């Protein structure tokens, strides 16, 4: 078990409950619907995600 990963997920759930869900945590812009569908826990828009060089999600 990886406890740190679980804590990360809980943190993201908390963000969802606070209403920041669907909004880029970096620039505050709305996250594209198709991205949220593919990556429901996304906290950054595609542009910011790319800027931080997460290449895992090709959307």
Which of these segments, 3-11, 15-23, 27-35, binds Zn ion (CB under 5 A)?
27-35
In the complex with Zn ion, which residue's Cβ is closer, 7 or 27? 27
Which of these segments, 7-15, 21-29, 33-41, binds Zn ion (CB under 5 A)?
21-29
Task: Quote the CA–CA distance of 31 and 46 in Å, as a whole number.
Answer: 7
In the complex with Zn ion, which residue's Cβ is closer, 12 or 26? 26
Examine residue 46 and tell whether it contacts Zn ion (CB under 5 A): no
* 50-55: long-range pairs with CB below 8 Å, 24+: 51/26, 52/26
């Amino acid at each position: 078990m990886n406890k740190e990963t679980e804590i990360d997920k809980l943190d993201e759930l908390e963000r969802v409950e606070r209403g920041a869900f669907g909004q880029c945590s970096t620039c505050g812009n709305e996250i594209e619907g198709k991205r949220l569908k593919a990556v429901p826990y996304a906290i950054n828009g595609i542009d910011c995600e790319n800027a931080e060089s997460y290449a895992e999600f090709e959307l």
